[in-house]
Amino acid sequence: MATVLDHTIVPVKDREKSVEFYTRIFGFDNLGEVGPFLAVKVNGTLNFDFRESDDFRSMHYAFAMDHQEFEDAFARIQESGISYGDSPREQENMKGPGDVRRRQGDGQSGLLQGP
Amino acid sequence: MATVLDHTIVPVKDREKSVEFYTRIFGFDNLGEVGPFLAVKVNGTLNFDFRESDDFRSMHYAFAMDHQEFEDAFARIQESGISYGDSPREQENMKGPGDVRRRQGDGQSGLLQGP
């Protein structure tokens, strides 16, 4: 499996209007509430998670990849001294990988701040 | 072909550091300069185009889809009275679709502001 963008948090002014827009114009599936977000399914690998925000300075991109690729990337993160964490609310606790359940199956996750 | 996210403009503090980070940690291909951006290839369908910016309030998501799906979506856009345009610098001139050359082949493009 190539590494794919699994989901990204899209900062918007109005979640309901955004869902209505993307489902009606592009025909994306309405997934309703997914965790704290309203989400649409762009295709089999990618969701857009809408969050209402006036502060768009922090973007969130979640990649899904094979287990070995994850292990290799996580090792490079640790070797680089980059801060990471095991949950969306703990991105710098240096714990992990965390467990995650996604539509592709159970796996592991690591969260980090890009440069 | 399912609709895919073809590219998105990722606002970053430092383009070079972002390219170095994503190529080294995740192994994405460095595409160098792509138009006004530095870009990496996440996989066969998705590029990240890095733009240095302190103002992240406008995000850019470009979807690629089959010709018929594009025609249908463009018709819905026109029926909805949503402003659109035929180039990245002309997103409200109500012209279009514009011509576009992409790795998937020549096609048409429409640009619009989401809700």
Say whether pLDDT at A55 is over 80.
no
Chain B hits for A44, Cβ within 8 Å: 2
The Cα B113–Cα B93 span in angstroms is: 12
Is the Cβ pair A114, B18 closer than 8 Å? yes
- The alpha-carbon gap from A36 to the nearest alpha carbon of chain B, in Å, equals 20
Confidence band, pLDDT 50/70/90 cuts, at residue A56: low
Contacts of A90 (CB under 8 A, 6+ apart): A111
Identify the pLDDT of residue A103: 65
- What is the ipTM metric for this complex? 0.86
Output the six-digit token pair for A76: 């490079």
Instruction: Look at residue B56 in the predicted model and tell me its pLDDT.
Output: 64
Round to whole Å and give the CA distance between A94 and B2: 38
Take residue B72 and report the two structure tokens written for it. Answer: 């249908």
Average per-residue pLDDT for chain A: 88
Coil vs helix vs strand at B84: strand
Bridge partners of residue A109, in order along the sequence: A98
Instruction: Quickly count: other Cβ atoms within 10 Å of residue B25's Cβ.
Output: 19
**Confidence class of residue A40 from pLDDT cuts 50, 70 and 90?**
very high
Report residues of chain B scoring pLDDT below 70: 56, 102-104
State residue B110's pLDDT score.
83
Lowest mean pLDDT among A56-65, A89-98, B28-37, B95-104: B95-104
Q: How confident is the model at residue A104, as a pLDDT?
A: 62
pLDDT in tens, A1-37: 789 999 999 999 899 999 999 999 999 999 999 999 9
| Tens digit of each residue's pLDDT (9 = 90 or more) over B40-55 | 999 999 999 999 987 7
Contact list, B51 vs chain A (CB under 8 Å): none
Residue B53: per-residue pLDDT: 83
Of A83-87, A101-105, A109-113, B71-75, highest mean pLDDT: B71-75
Restricting to B residues 52-111, those with a Cβ less than 8 Å away from any Cβ of A are: 56-57, 59, 61, 63, 65, 69, 73, 76-77, 80, 82
Helix (H, G, I), strand (E, B) or coil at A13: coil
pLDDT at A82: 86
